[in-house]
Amino acid sequence: MDELLTNLDRLEGIAEEFDYDYSVNEVHIDDYAQFEERLLAPYLSGSRLIFYRGERISSLKRPLLPTMFRERGALMEGGKNYADITAEYILRHYRSNGRYIDLFCSTFGQARKYCMYDLCAFSQHYLEWSPFIDFTKSLYVALSFGLKGKREFENDALLYTVEILDPEKYTQDRVTAECWLNDYRVRVYNYDRNDENLRRVKRTSPDAKIIDIATNDRMKFQQGVFLLLDQFNLVNHLYLTKNVRSSVTITKHILNRAVCPGLTELVNRATPWYSFDNLLDVGAGIRTAIEAHVEMADFRRTQETGPNGQNV
């Protein structure tokens, strides 16, 4: 029996790795022509529902997961090796943070079941603990976050895209968002890699959804949205992705460090209000937009030739 379990575990591991790698496509962007073809042209066309997330470095230590799953051990309760993260669990965690809920309720809104969206959105940005992953509707905003305004790069940068395939997985409706959060359920395991119990854990894949409801001026300015991964088992920072593929396409773009300086310049020229110095300051972004004197013809030439004048 032990030998059979070992073999089944090995087969499951192979299937998991195949499924995970197959779903989250990894694409290398090695020059501006590839960037224009794969990222810029689809963005400018506006014909597809694509969202973006930039990160400064590509690392296996930073998988595409909500902030609250970064420290799995802290989620465990009562000496268990797993935790069921539900709406009730999330509210209980927020209430455990001193008078955090009192502050939120007295200044921003309600905090209870079916009234969780504003609380989770606020907590994502100020407590850095929520079921959400930050994305944006703007390619330029994502590039700015990922490139940090730098002109010299030691490492490649990373840009995620999420394209919605099923319209039912995208909402701008607050009632729908509240229902999604009320039904939220993720089981998180915290077994050691060599624990025999880990072999008996059933891997499941998440249901991916996009919530497009801005809750403050900065989120509106950055054209922010949230990716919600729901209804799955999380084991060792990985998850199967069969259900993800049925609703969205997630692609991981590795931006070659040689092309990154030109992309920083592209952001600064095409949308100077989204330069990294302005990205977190709405007022500064507005002032920059007012002071900008970029002719539309010059902007179009930037899209046609690339930031350094190279033909694409």
Does residue 278 belong to any structural domain of this protein?
A: no
Q: Is the pLDDT of residue 140 over 90?
A: yes
CB 180 within 8 A of CB 209: yes
Question: Which pLDDT belongs to residue 245?
Answer: 58
Question: Which pLDDT belongs to residue 293?
Answer: 67
Q: Retrieve residue 240's tokens.
A: 């199967």
- Residues 286-305: pLDDT tens digits? 999 988 865 444 554 554 45
Q: Is the pLDDT of residue 20 over 60?
A: no
Question: Which pLDDT belongs to residue 235?
Answer: 82
| Residue type present at position 79 | G
Mean model confidence pLDDT for the chain:
84
Question: Which pLDDT belongs to residue 294?
Answer: 54
> Which of the residue ranges 18-32, 94-108, 255-269 would you say has the lowest mean pLDDT?
18-32
Does residue 286 belong to any structural domain of this protein?
A: no
Average pLDDT over residues 214-233: 95
Average pLDDT over residues 103-119: 91
Please give the C-alpha separations between residue 192 and each of 73, 81, 164, 221, in angstroms, as whole numbers: 11, 9, 35, 43
> Which of the residue ranges 28-42, 63-77, 124-138 would you say has the lowest mean pLDDT?
63-77
Q: How many CB atoms lie within 10 A of CB 89?
A: 17
- Of residues 200 and 173, more confidently modeled: 173
Question: Which pLDDT belongs to residue 308?
Answer: 46
- Of residues 18 and 64, more confidently modeled: 64
Does residue 253 belong to any structural domain of this protein?
A: yes
Does residue 301 belong to any structural domain of this protein?
A: no
Question: Which pLDDT belongs to residue 237?
Answer: 67
Per-range mean pLDDT, top range of 21-30, 132-141, 227-236: 132-141
Does residue 243 belong to any structural domain of this protein?
A: yes
* Residue 172 confidence class, pLDDT cut points 50, 70, 90: very high
Q: Total domain count for the chain?
A: 1
Does residue 52 belong to any structural domain of this protein?
A: yes
Does residue 297 belong to any structural domain of this protein?
A: no
Q: Is the pLDDT of residue 188 over 80?
A: yes
- The residue range of the domain holding 52 is 2-266
Average pLDDT over residues 81-99: 93
Beta-bridge partners for 148: none
Question: Which pLDDT belongs to residue 311?
Answer: 41
* Residue 58 confidence class, pLDDT cut points 50, 70, 90: low
Q: Is the pLDDT of residue 95 over 90?
A: yes
* Residue 142 confidence class, pLDDT cut points 50, 70, 90: very high
* Residue 241 confidence class, pLDDT cut points 50, 70, 90: low
Question: Which pLDDT belongs to residue 62?
Answer: 65
Residue burial 268-284, b: 16+ Cβ < 10 Å; e: rest: bbbbbbbbbebbeebee
Q: Is the pLDDT of residue 259 over 70?
A: yes
Average pLDDT over residues 71-92: 89
> Which of the residue ranges 124-128, 142-146, 188-192 would you say has the lowest mean pLDDT?
188-192
Does residue 228 belong to any structural domain of this protein?
A: yes
The C-alpha atoms of residue 131 and residue 126 are separated, in whole angstroms, by 14
Question: Which pLDDT belongs to residue 291?
Answer: 87
Q: Is the pLDDT of residue 239 over 80?
A: no
Question: Which pLDDT belongs to residue 9?
Answer: 46
- Of residues 199 and 288, more confidently modeled: 288
* Residue 1 confidence class, pLDDT cut points 50, 70, 90: very low
